[in-house]
Amino acid sequence: MIQANPPVPNKKITVQKTEEGRVFIIHTPVNDLDEFRKIARQAATLKPYGKVKINIAALADKSFHEIPAKGSSWHEYASSNPTPFKFFPDAKLAPFIPAEFIKKNRQLMLDKAKILREYGLEGAFMGYEPNFMPAAFFDAYPAMLGPRVDHPRRSAEKAFAPCVSVKETREMYTSMMAEMLKAVPEITTLTFKTNDAGAGICWADWLYSGPNGPAACKHFSMGERVKMLMDAYKEGANKTGKALSIYMDAGSSNFSEAERADIEKYLPENCYFQGNAEREIINTGGTLSSVYPVTGIINPAALVRQLRNIGEKKNSTIFIGLRAAYDRGAERSDITQLIFQIIEKKLKEPAVPGGSSIADLQELQQVSELWTGNNQGGADLFKAFVALDEAMSYKSSTFPRVHSLYWGVTERLINRPLVIAPQRLSVAEESYFLPYIFNVSEQEARMDYMDVHGGRASVAPEVVNNFVRRLKVSADLFDKVDAVAIRKDFFKRMAISLRIYASVMRSCANFSAAQAIRDRDGVALNGPVHRPDKDPSWTGHPDFIPFNNIMRDELDNTAELIRLLENGGLELLVYSKNRVYEDRFMLGPDIILQLKKKRKIMLDHWQDIEDYLASPFK
């Protein structure tokens, strides 16, 4: 019988070396080799300033086999999760994962490693651990069954990760790491997140199902559990004679404060969590994660602030994030080139101790002049970047939880029709958007515009509309920038990207306002169709005219978005080129056609409100 047990105490691991100097770890999920080569070539410019490592763990294909036949919003979160067993599965696990899936992932990793060798770069494996495993695996090896890690309000099917306290589980992780590093010695770093989106550790305080796991391992502290997992992977590296640095993503891993403190106490050598006096951890990167599904936007003012003291930190690890939507989106190569250019500029110049907001603005001015090639263009670009940064700062301080990914895409506010009575839409009218709304309940997805992943949200429309106005002002400024030829088209495209993003946010405001009215008038709207009374009124029901104004604004907003996409904007949107990849996090290949359907359905149902609320009459 398999027992939950810790590793042998004080076991010596012979090949360990503490990470030294400055390290850059670049997270890009691109699986196109030409695009990956561009990233590698750009990243190589940082080599004079430290070790440069690029993530090579992106999957070659979506994990379709993990998604239940009836579908599951939560499983789509995790369908792009990299984890070692999707590349080099242990012999126990291999029979439960499609062989062709493994073959494609492994070949992509090997091809990327070859490119790294060409540029003298190292590799990183960035994933989710301990990732949930197939139910059939736990049927065969029940003693390894660890915690339930899915989100009950978001998942149509339960999912379990293995228990790291079980010896056989650790041996499995050790063997997979050893096999991977033998085949891909370029990998020198493992970094992972846990307790979210497909991963979890037994008895963690913030597991979505609540603390859970086998009774046999309940007595271990979180620090001890994390140490077991890290030691297992380090033992795998040890078997190959390779040094492996390990980082657990403190920002994205869900742990209570007490657990975080305990984890720090047990960290093995060359393993990091929150950073410390010996090694600072800095996070920087692009804007795609905050403006998805819109690409082509860069906010250098934010980058300069994030990198303010980078030159002073000799022992530091700089994570450069170029991804979004759980590895579905990646920054464009023209954006990544500018990101690396700013980082290189910060490191090339003498460090300014402490830094200041004035110094940041001076540096932004220099960047603006560098990118335009002339003083007047630099001044205009500086104004545009300041306006953009102020807009983004305004959003962060006033309504940070309204996210274009979760509201715009996963709730399909971008392309679903805004109507007074969603229950009156036909099956055919719903078919292009309803299956892609993130919700375990079809009825809630249909009827509640503000049900966001099983929770309820709202936003003051005037606050969002203020942000939209700020975005449009910055877009107008980018349109006016007089830059050298190589950059002029870039800033014109960026203006389009900002207008597309503004349209998505405008939809968020409209749907929130519409749902507030639908909530107020729920009794009437969910009751039978009825004619209004015959009392004369200039306004009718007090919500009649306001709702019609919201519908009209969303109709016009949709028409504007169609125009933007048809005139060069489509290339600035992350969407699936193949219908099979359209899901809760990814728009479909016919997004323009879907937007036109949205307008038609709204017009077809324009008069539905008259069957529930009294119209104006005099």
Task: Indicate whether 598 pLDDT > 60.
Answer: yes
Q: What domains sit in the chain, N to C, each tagged with a CATH number? A: 22-385 (3.20.20.80), 394-611 (no CATH)
Q: Is the pLDDT of residue 485 over 60?
A: no
Count Cβ atoms within 10 A of the Cβ of residue 182 and give its class: 0-12 exposed, 13-18 middle, 19 or more buried: middle
What mean pLDDT is predicted for residues 251-264? Answer: 96
pLDDT at 484 over 90: no
Looking at residue 10, what is its pLDDT?
Answer: 44
Rounded average pLDDT over 357-383: 89
Name the band, by pLDDT with cuts 50, 70 and 90, for residue 486. Answer: low
Q: What is the pLDDT of residue 537?
A: 87
Q: Can you give the C-alpha Rg of the chain in angstroms?
A: 26
The helix/strand/coil state of 382 is helix
Helical segments of 415-460, H only: 427-430, 442-447
Measured CA to CA, the distance from residue 83 to residue 61 in angstroms comes to 13
Average pLDDT over residues 221-230: 98
pLDDT exceeds cutoff 50 at 9: no
153-183 pLDDT, tens digit per residue, is: 999 999 999 999 999 999 999 999 999 999 9
What is the pLDDT at residue 354?
65
- State residue 313's pLDDT score: 79
Mean pLDDT of the chain: 94
Q: Which of 33-47, 119-133, 266-280, 322-336 has the lowest average pLDDT?
A: 266-280
User: Which tops the pLDDT comparison, 536 or 567?
Assistant: 567
378, 372 Cβ separation under 8 angstroms: yes
Q: Are the CB atoms for 504 and 404 separated by under 8 Å?
A: yes
Reported as a single tens digit per residue, the pLDDT across 121-164 is 999 999 999 999 999 999 999 999 999 999 999 999 999 999 99
- In this structure, the dihedral spanned by the alpha carbons of residues 544, 546, 550 and 555, taken in order and rounded to 10 degrees, is 50
Residue 482 confidence class, pLDDT cut points 50, 70, 90: confident
Residue 531's pLDDT band (cuts 50, 70, 90): confident
**Which residue type occupies 309?**
N
- Mean per-residue pLDDT for 461-476? 98
pLDDT confidence of residue 120: 98
Band (pLDDT 50/70/90 cuts) for residue 351 is low
Q: What is the mean pLDDT of residues 448-463?
A: 96
- For 62-104, how does the pLDDT look when each residue is reduced to its tens digit (9 = 90+)? 999 999 999 999 999 999 999 999 999 999 999 999 999 999 9
**DSSP state letter for 406:** I
Predicted confidence at residue 352, as pLDDT, reads: 63
477 has a pLDDT exceeding 80: yes
539-579 pLDDT, tens digit each: 899 999 999 999 999 999 999 999 999 999 999 999 999 99
Question: Which pLDDT band, with edges at 50, 70 and 90, does 1 fall under?
Answer: very low
Specify the higher pLDDT residue, 455 or 535: 455
- Please report, for residues 56, 212, 582, the alpha-carbon distance to residue 202 in angstroms, rounded to integers and kept in the order given: 28, 6, 33
- CA angle (62 as vertex; 84, 249 as ends), nearest 5: 45
Average pLDDT over residues 594-598: 98
The residues, ordered by sequence, that sit 6+ positions from 17 with a Cβ below 8 Å of its Cβ are 243, 270
Measured distance CA(238)–CA(446) in Å, rounded: 53
Least confident of 276-280, 339-343, 382-386: 276-280
170, two tokens:
């650790």
SS3 sequence of 242-279: CCCEEEECCCCCCCCHHHHHHHHHHCCCCEECCCCCCC
**Which candidate, 347, 372, 284, 330, places its Cα nearest to that of 38?**
330
The answer, yes or no, to whether the previous bond of 293 is cis (omega within 30 of 0) is yes
pLDDT at 438 over 90: yes
- Kindly give the interhelix angle for 99-119 and 33-43, rounded to the nearest 10 degrees: 30
Q: What is the pTM of this model?
A: 0.95
461-479 vs 485-520: helix axis angle to the nearest 10? 170
